[in-house]
Amino acid sequence: MQLKNNNQSLLQKIAPFIGLILIIVIITILNPGFLSVSNLMNVLRQVSINALIAFGMTFVILTGGIDLSVGATLALTGAVTAGMMASGIDPIFAMLLGLLLGAILGAINGIIIAKGKVAPFIATLATMTIYRGLTLVYTDGRPISGLGDSLTFQMLGKGYFLGIPIPVVTMIASFGILYFILKKTTFGRRVYAIGGNEEASILSGINADRIKIYVYSLLGLLAALASLILTSRLNSAQPTAGEMFELDAIAAVVLGGTSLTGGRGWIVGTLIGALIIGVLNNGLNLIGVPSFFQQVVKGAVILLAVLLDRKKTT
């Protein structure tokens, strides 16, 4: 009995990986140029922003929550950081403040959800609107540019380390740290516990409210990090930045096999899920699918993957 369960969950775990390979094979057959080193680096760089957010989203979804406000958080932190830099504040200090702001915006979500007992979907739907609105107020609806030539800031989005784009390095480093946290720390274990059974967790003496506030803060922090990379790449902050990013992040988490009801899943799957979305975006371009039609294909692939996954679990 038990052996069978383990096998099943193993198959479930590698299913996203098989899907990714399959998509890569199909795209490569249609356009061998996909596999060139420069294109692969390109894909990874494109993936990095969504992956960072999706990593944080994994924690939130594992606790049984959801966060729709990450796109708006990204826009607001990007705008405020850019605003500070444009007004001459030390860029490194500005970036640190930006990260802090991201964590604070996330903590606000967490506090509303944990202490106010508001359903995460509703709470973050509201803060999404508020954060986006604040961004528009702050920027007056216009992009912020003239961010100066701080090397650190420019490197963040455009630099290379040992031939690997810095955003990719950031993504891999974050992945390593977050993987470790989920797997080896009491915090990670508590995240799973709360998603698995919140009542039993509280009755075991776990401070569920605090853990929830932490995971939303972590996601806010990662969204701010993604926003710094994006702002650096574009050399400006857009008030409309990050629209629909929350959905790409959620899609990556779900493609990776993490359960939306919480308690089950892993961050490796999320990385693969983000790669699937990135490879699709890039590959559909390469094989010349018209851009309007790309969305249809992307949506269909996500649906197919999730349906296959469900089939296997039953």
Residues 36-75 that bind other proteins (CB under 8 A): none
Residue 200 as a binder of other proteins (CB under 8 A): the answer is yes
Least distance (Å) between residue 108 CB and other proteins: 23
Tell me the sheet residues that pair with 160. Answer: 165
Options 10, 184, 247, 285; binder of other proteins; rule CB under 8 A? 184
Measure the CA–CA gap between 89 and 102, rounded to whole angstroms: 18
Options 205, 290, 310, 311; binder of other proteins; rule CB under 8 A? 205
Residue 199 as a binder of other proteins (CB under 8 A): the answer is yes
Measure the CA–CA gap between 71 and 307, rounded to whole angstroms: 26
Residues 251-290 that bind other proteins (CB under 8 A): 263-264
Residue 309 as a binder of other proteins (CB under 8 A): the answer is no
Residue 309: how many CB atoms within 10 A of its CB?
A: 17
* 66 within 8 A of 128, measured Cβ to Cβ: no
Residue 217 as a binder of other proteins (CB under 8 A): the answer is no
Residue 206 as a binder of other proteins (CB under 8 A): the answer is yes
Least distance (Å) between residue 189 CB and other proteins: 6
Measure the CA–CA gap between 260 and 290, rounded to whole angstroms: 32
In the complex with other proteins, the residue whose CB is nearer, 124 or 201, is 201
SS3 of 223-237? HHHHHHHHHHHHCCE
Options 5, 38, 291, 314; binder of other proteins; rule CB under 8 A? 5
Residue 185 as a binder of other proteins (CB under 8 A): the answer is yes
Options 6, 38, 291, 314; binder of other proteins; rule CB under 8 A? 6
Distances (CA, A) of 96 to 14, 42, 80, 228: 37, 27, 11, 10
In the complex with other proteins, the residue whose CB is nearer, 53 or 193, is 193
Residue type, 37: V
Distances (CA, A) of 192 to 120, 162, 269: 17, 36, 15
Residue 3: how many CB atoms within 10 A of its CB?
A: 7
Taking contact as CB under 8 A, which single stretch among the options 23-31, 63-71, 124-132, 191-199 is the one that binds other proteins?
191-199
Measure the CA–CA gap between 33 and 12, rounded to whole angstroms: 31
Residues contacting residue 271 through CB under 8 Å, at least 6 positions apart: 51, 54, 55, 175, 256
Least distance (Å) between residue 210 CB and other proteins: 10
In the complex with other proteins, the residue whose CB is nearer, 38 or 314, is 314
Residue 117 as a binder of other proteins (CB under 8 A): the answer is no
In the complex with other proteins, the residue whose CB is nearer, 10 or 18, is 10
Residue 186 as a binder of other proteins (CB under 8 A): the answer is yes
- Residues of this chain that interact with other proteins (CB under 8 A) are 1-6, 184-187, 189-190, 192-193, 196-197, 199-207, 263-264
